[in-house]
Structure formats: structure tokens, C-alpha cells
Chains A and B, each alone.
Chain A
Amino acid sequence: MSATEKGQVMTANRLRDGEVVFLTRSGVWSEKIDEAVLALEPQAAAALEARAAEDVKGNLVTGQYLFDAERVGGNIRATHIRERIRTLGPTVRFDLGKQAEGTAGTFAAVEG
């Protein structure tokens, strides 16, 4: 049984198309939450904030913020339903959004 790690993920919307993206360990933005870096310490979260602020200034992304998440068995799951919906797409249209494009998180949002 794998341990659950709790931390924070940095997210934003990509400027040119609004796509929901997550900051990865290598400092690039990914459409997939499972590629995000999970900041386990406040220091790590601050580093993500600094990195994101730079990319906001560089006009790559907009509307950045940290949200609570946990890693279970290599997959990352947002704590709050709002962020789970952002990592998947609308819960009422499985044919739309990340869940339809192969970039979804591993966890289902909520029962419909």
C-alpha cells in the first residue's frame, strides 16, 4: 500500500487558449495534473509561486494559484471538487475537456 502525500499544486490558465495547466518539476506547464510537482513544504510552494509569477510576467499563463492536493500511488488528486473538475472537464459532458482529450487526472470528479 502506497502512502498518501499531501501538498500543493500550482495551476494557471495558458494565456493564448485558456487551457488549464499545472507546473511540473522541470518548470514547464503541463495539461496533465499527474505531471505536476506536488509541493510538500511551504518553501517548495513558495518556489512554485515565484516560478509561476515569472511565467505570468512572460505572458505564458494567467490567473495562477496554489491548490491543495494529494499524491496516491503516483497519481495526483485535487482535494476540492472545483479543482478536480478543472483537471477533468465538466462532470455533465464526459465528451469534453481533458477527460475527452487524454489529458485528464486519474480520479473521477464526483458521482454525477
Chain B
Amino acid sequence: MYRYDEFDHQFVRERTAQFRDQAARRLKGELTEDEFRPLRLMNGLYLQLHAYMLRVAIPYGTLSSRQMRQLGLIADKWDRGYGHFTTRQNIQYNWFKLEDTADILQALADVEMHAIQTSGNCIRNVTTDHWAGAAADELLDPRPVGELIRQWSSLHPEFSFLPRKFKIAVTGAPNDRAAVKVHDIGLRLHRNAAGVPGWEVMVGGGQGRTPMIAVTVREHLPEKELIAYLEAIMRVYNLYGRRDNKYKARVKILVHEIGAEKFRSEVEAEYARHPAQTTEVEERELARIAKYFADPAFERLSRFVPVFEAEKRSNAEFARWVKNNTAAHKREGYAIVNISLKAAGEIPGDCTSEQMRVMADLAESHSFAELRVSHAQNIVLPHVRLGDLFAIWQKLTEHGLAAANYGLAGDIIACPGLDYCALATARSIPVAQAISRKFADLDRQQDIGNIKINISGCINACGHHHVGHIGILGLDKKGEEYYQITLGGSSSEHASIGTILGPGFAGHEVPDAIDTILNTYVRLRAPREEFLATYRRIGAQPFKEALYATA
């Protein structure tokens, strides 16, 4: 894992001291709210429905056990004993006081964390594959590049006042788990025909009120040129991106309005002005960073672990959890453990301080003290020996963390919605809970198979509804909540935006509507065909007929 150097420490310390002074001046009345708001937002502090909310950055979703414990301590000391893991691999606390915030930022700085770049029109916290450095299908760990981008973009003076916020996602695997095609910039590492690794650079994806899939501006960029090339993209955006209308200010609108070809030629022209020799600094820094992400001290293990096989045979629930919640690791004898924060009826992404400590301890004893946060609001133990899985599962079971529904109907993405969020138009969480309860039966979930149900409580789409296989969008119609359903979205390497199925539903009707959709799928699917494949084969019509058929 990356460790702060003296410069990083000093930078975050100074920033915390600066905020302490700003907050004190605000409380004394020396700063007005209009003066203070941009300052607090630059430190991740929002004012939400019930209190102040702090969004803490978890760069590329990677946490140490020590950091996870500190997140738990902060939840206990200054919040209400829990936190909410977000769809941007961050964590939010909902009940903070302004007068405590500087102390909280200091507590974060103590474990090399902060809340910079979680708000405002800057380059936001970089996100990546939550299985980075562990997945069997991965070419290379994308996190060194994620860290390089973080260092380059943090408080970058040229890119701190962009037309709008800017999100970058990176992946080093062919199976895209980082949703790179629905980010402002998506980066995908791959090998060209000659076997040389390089980065595909995609620009102009996004969700929100105008969802779009990114277009490729470079097929295969050498890694050493990455920052210089990103700079060229940012300059073109900074120059041409609209500032007159915030709804048209994201780079996706620019790419769409001037066209991919024109955008690409503008970027290349800007890039051609960049002197090539200036990439040396980035190359040196990347080499330094990469050392921090070297593999942990993996043991040489057998692929077949008799005791683990015996435990699976003797305990069907454990076997089910292994089947659904673990994934192939790049090293033999190891597995990736996906801890679902979505037990039936629970709030997606919410996690108590005790659960944080349990997972931190498990990571320390079984996963090289490392954890990951996924954009689907789950926690990952990236490097676990097969022989340790049973003990881990037992411990998780004791703490309500062993839901065996990873990637299934119960594993719902949901934004905080109107229960917490000042921007929301409808509630997301109770709808997610009701669906999760309706599909609580794991046999049925397994029969339905891989399905992504994503719920947003407003058009800003924090709940990724556009790219849910089934997307649910909560809106306000004359003061009442109602929900639009979309089908066919995907955030994978074959990304697509879902299409609206028809008239919306009241909240209490949504679980039955989802039930009807999934029953229709089960009725019409080909053998072993997943939901999305069936939808793409047969289209929306059979689902519409089932859902809107009147007696």
C-alpha cells in the first residue's frame, strides 16, 4: 500500500490547520456562509438534511486495517456509530458538527487520510477495480497509476476550478469492474498486437441527467506519457467546457457537442505542444510509487486444500458463501473475499463501527492488513488463503457480514436518497430494503443469477441506475415519490445505458414490479443465459407486456 512521504504528511497537516482556522473564523462570524461554503466543500464537508456530512476520500478504494479502525473510531467519537460506503469508493458520515470537523480531519490525517477532492469542480478521488492487485484476470495493478494521478491532480492549480467536477477511473483488467466507460476519463490497461502494455484512454462517459458512454481518444498510450496526455485533455476541457450552464458543463457534453473526432484532434494538437522530455519526472515518480504496491509476501500454496474442501462438504451455507462471495485470485491457494454489506433488509453500504473493526481485524490476520471498498458498496479482503476462509466466514457470520448474495439480486446499489441527501427527490434506501427482503431467499437469488439492481434517489444518479441491469430512479411527482424503471444498463467493458420501460411506480409497487421483470426473464431465458444477455436478445417488449398488461 502507498505510504505518505514527508511531503504528503506536511501537505495534509497544513491543510487541516488551514481548515481549523477557517472553521473557527466561520463560527466567530469573520467569514460569511458564502465565503465559507467553497472552503468547506474543498474539504469534503457538506450540509445535508439532518446535519453536516463529511465525505472522506479512500483513494482507489484501498484501506489498511489501521485506517479502517480509525474510520470506526471516528464513527463512535463524532458520529452515530456507523458510516456509509459510497458508490465512489469513499465513506460518508452523516451527523457531524462543524465545530468538531477540524479534529476529525486531524484524526484522518493521523492515518494518512483526508477529505480533499471529494467535492467541488476539481479532479475527484480516483476510483479503480476493487480487486486490483489480486484478480486472476488482471494484466497489472492499476493502483500505482491511480496514485500518480492522485498526486498530480491534488490541488492542481490549473485544474481546481474546472467547468464542473471531473472523475477518473482506471482498470488493469479486461473485465471492467471499475465502470471506466461511464467516467469523465476511463483508463484501461491492455496489450497491443505486439504484446506491449499501454493505456486505452476514454473520455466523455458519465451518468447524471445526461448519461453517456465514453469514446476512445487513444487506443494504446505508453504509460510514461499518461500524465502529459491527461493534461492535454484537461486543458482542452478547461478551455472549451461550458461554464454558462452547470447541466451542460461536464466533459461528456463537450465531447458530444463537438464530436469525438474534433475533440480528439484538439487533444492531439494540445498534446503536440507538450515537450516530450518532461515525462521524466512522472516516470521516476511512478517507479517510486509502484514499489509500494508490490505483491505482499504470498506463500507458495497448493491449489487444492483438503481441509477447505472438507469444510465446504460439511457445511452447505459456507459452501454457498464461497461460491457466491469469493473470486479467483492471481495466486494459487488464495481467494478474493467479497464481504456483502447488503444482508437482507439492511441499508446498502452502511457499516457499524464494530463491523469496521471486525473487518480490520480479519484483514490484519488474514489479508496482509489490506481492505478494499467497492463502488457497489461492499468491502473486499483481497488476499486470503483458502485454508482461512472457514474461520473468516464464521467471524463474519457472528457480525451480520456473511450475506451470501454478492452479485445477486440482494446486492443492490443505493444512494442515500431522501433519507439523508439534500439533493434527493425520493428515497432510495427503503426501496432497496424492500426489494432485498422480497428476494431474501438465496436459492431464488442464485437461480436468477448475476443481476445488478441499482437505485438512485434523483437524476444525479449516484446510485448508478443508468448502468444497472435493472435501474430504479426515484422522482418527485407533485410532492409524491415515484420510481422509473430502466432495463439493459451495464457498466462493464460492454457498457450500455438502460432504457426506460414505461410509466413509473409508487414506492410500494416497486418490489412487485422487479419480481415481474425477473419472472419474465426466468421464463424466457435460454439455458445459462444471464439477465442482461436475455434482455439484449429479446428486447424490452416482453418485459413491458408482463409489467403493464391490464386485465
Contacts and interface: CB of A to CB of B under 8 A. Distances in A.
A91 interface: yes
A92 B507 CA distance: 14
Interface string B16-33: 000000000011110001
B8 to A, nearest CB: 30
B472 interface: no
B420 interface: yes
A97 interface: yes
A30 B97 CA distance: 17
A18 B479 contact: no
B427 A18 contact: no
Nearest to B100: A17
A17 B79 CA distance: 12
A56 B97 CA distance: 17
A83 to B, nearest CB: 9
Contact of B50 (A16, A18, A79): A18
Interface in A58-107: 58-59, 62-63, 79-82, 85-86, 89-93, 96-97
A59 B347 CA distance: 35
A91 B417 CA distance: 11
Given A80-B479, A92-B433, A19 B99 contact: no
Contacts of A82: 49, 418, 424
A41 interface: no
B208 to A, nearest CB: 20
Interface string B481-508: 1000000000000000000000000001
A15 interface: yes
Nearest to A56: B33
Contacts of B508: 111
A91 B347 CA distance: 12
Given A13-B47, A86-B50, A91 B430 contact: yes
A91 B419 contact: yes
Nearest to B52: A18
Interface string A25-58: 0000000000000000000000000000000101
B97 A18 contact: yes
Contact of B99 (A17, A79, A85, A93): A17
Given A18-B98, A79-B479, A90 B420 contact: yes
B429 interface: yes
Interface residues of A, number: 27
A90 B429 CA distance: 10
B430 A92 contact: yes
Interface string B421-451: 0001001011001000000000000000000
B418 A18 contact: no
Contact of B427 (A16, A58, A91): A91
A17 B97 contact: yes
Contacts of A23: none
Contacts, number: 71
A107 to B, nearest CB: 15
B237 interface: no
Contacts of B131: none
B544 interface: no
A16 B23 CA distance: 9
A96 B79 CA distance: 11
Contacts of B95: 96
B489 to A, nearest CB: 25
B1 to A, nearest CB: 33
A97 B418 CA distance: 14
Contacts of A86: 49-50
A58 B29 contact: yes
B51 interface: yes
Contact of A85 (B80, B419, B480): B419
A56, A86, A96 interface centre (most CB from chain B within 10 Å): A96
B535 interface: no
Interface in B25-71: 26-29, 33, 47-52
A16 B101 CA distance: 10
B479 to A, nearest CB: 5
Contacts of A96: 80, 95
B419 A15 contact: no
Given A81-B479, A92-B347, A92-B419, 13 more contacts: A16-B98, A18-B47, A18-B50, A18-B96, A20-B50, A59-B27, A62-B33, A63-B33, A82-B49, A85-B49, A86-B49, A92-B430, A112-B433
24 contacts: A13-B51, A17-B52, A18-B48, A18-B98, A19-B51, A20-B49, A56-B33, A58-B29, A59-B26, A59-B28, A59-B29, A62-B47, A63-B33, A81-B418, A82-B49, A85-B49, A85-B418, A86-B49, A86-B50, A90-B50, A91-B419, A91-B430, A92-B433, A111-B508
